[in-house]
Amino acid sequence: MSCDKIRTIATFIVVLCASSVSGLFTAKTAAAEKQISFYQQVRPILQAQCAGCHHPRNPEGEYVVTEFSHFLKGGESQTRAIVPGKPDESYLVQLITPHGNEAEMPKAKTPLSQDQINLVRLWIQQGARNDSPAKVEYRFNQEHPPTYSSPPVITSLAYSPDGKILAVAGFHEVILHAADGDQILARLIGKSQRIESVQFSPDGKSLAVTGGTPAERG
């Protein structure tokens, strides 16, 4: 085989290898840069692992994860939970990262998997954007309760066992009245648009509520 042919083959092999490496690098870069969806990927983790303890009604550590602005801000530590673009400076990442077999969040539960932690970190690294559809951004919370221009449709009500409290179903809430009608004791605001049923426990310490959003859930 002539030297010219050998040089031609060698050049072809080098170009082919370079193209393969370039293509592999491009594919890996594209995968790494794929935008993480808060609504489709991060939010389900929060709902399953965190929302039970960090909801508006009685948030542990004064940290609420069900409302995006509060989720970013943080709780009683006054340390910012999410610093967009900086996962290593985000307090939430410290809380969910296990040391040994335990993590501070979720408390007294199995820590998030490494894949879940990496997902949260990458979402923060990409800017911690909220891509939730407008319809899932709940309008009402303890700071912004529903207002009524006319009496709501009452689908359910229940007296506490001692007869001192009357629970009345409302729009996105259950209203606790003093049984004599003298005052409103509390407004329990939730995600469900229509409350279907309310019932006190036998000891009066708990209130069971069922509800949903017509044509969507519940």
CA distance 194 to 172: 6
Average pLDDT over residues 112-130: 95
Asked whether residue 12 carries a pLDDT value surpassing 90, the answer given is no
Any long-range contacts for 143-149 (C-beta under 8 Å, 24+ apart)?
145/173, 145/187, 145/189, 146/170, 146/171, 146/172, 146/173, 146/189
pLDDT for the residue numbered 33: 66
Site of tokens 């606790």: 176
pLDDT for the residue numbered 151: 77
Give one DSSP letter per residue of 12-77, joined into a string: HHHHHHHHHHHHHHHHHHHHHHSPPPIIIIIHHHHHHHTTTTS-SSS-GGG--SSSHHHHHH--TT
pLDDT for the residue numbered 86: 96
Asked whether residue 210 carries a pLDDT value surpassing 60, the answer given is yes
CA distance 143 to 105: 25
Average model confidence (pLDDT) across the chain:
81
pLDDT for the residue numbered 194: 82
Q: What letter represents residue 120's amino acid?
A: V
Asked whether residue 22 carries a pLDDT value surpassing 50, the answer given is no
Which of helix, strand or coil describes residue 83?
Answer: coil
Render pLDDT for 61-118 as a digit per residue (tens, 0 to 9): 899 888 888 899 999 988 999 999 999 999 999 999 998 888 989 888 889 999 999 9
Render pLDDT for 160-200 as a digit per residue (tens, 0 to 9): 999 999 999 988 889 999 998 889 999 998 877 788 899 99
Domain ranges, ordered by start, for the chain: 1-34, 38-136, 157-212
Partner residues linked to 217 by β-bridges: 213
